Structure 1
Amino acid sequence: MSDVTTERMLRISDSAAERIATLVQMEGKPGMMLRLTVSGGGCSGFQYGFNFDDAVNADDHLFEHNGTKVVTDDCSLDLLDGAVLDYVEDLMGAAFQIKNPNAKSSCGCGSSFAV
């Protein structure tokens, strides 16, 4: 039997990369990255968190698309593996959205999920 390792992945859509780049430019700090976290709580059990950071910690994973960087910690990546970070603008407003194949259900607002 051979050992097969699969690399965990988080994809970033073009629209998310563009929006992150715009926000970083507005902050005036070119080294900033979007930090995506998953924590306990929210309507469905887990919730997504978004903030900007300029540090990569020892247990972080860095993903890049079109020069835009997103960082997430190892535990969060376990729950985000295979997900797509997107930025959507519609009649309801504009927001980052996570299309997460690991989520068995999510709340109506899309900010929390259950596995």
Structure 2
Amino acid sequence: MSMTPISLTDRAVTRIQEVLAAETAGAMLRISVNGGGCSGFQYVFDVDHERGDDDLVVERDGATVLVDSVSLQYMDGAVIDFVDDLIGQSFKIENPHATASCGCGTSFSL
């Protein structure tokens, strides 16, 4: 089964560049999926300095995102965006596998 790569919007790339610029050299944004959250699964965002052997690496214009193989099965084909609206700033993941998501946008169900 081949998985569709994860893509980044221009806004997400800009924000990832800003976040990583404040970190030490070699920093990357790791996105993972954990059980929990108000909809069953939740996205977790961390800064990481090491790539795992099974990581999908998405690089665009100096922004590097890592997704481990377990999380990728829940996220293949997803689009990572960054929104700045009345309720605040956050990364938003448009996930084609999610059947529902919560209002905060950080958790989803399948």
TM-score by length of structure 1 reads: 0.90
Structure 2 segments unaligned to the other structure (5+ residues)? none
CA RMSD of aligned residues (A): 1.1
State the identity as a percent. 45
**How many matched pairs?**
110
**C-alpha contact (below 8 Å) 2:39/2:101 kept by paired residues:** yes
**C-alpha contact (below 8 Å) 2:3/2:77 kept by paired residues:** no
SS at match of 2:22: helix
Moved over 4 A (4+): none
Among 75, 82, 94, the residue aligned to 1:80: 75
TM-score by length of structure 2 reads: 0.94
Cα offset for 1:8? 3.0
SS at match of 1:58: coil
SS at match of 1:35: strand
SS at match of 1:88: strand
State the structure with more CA Rg: 1
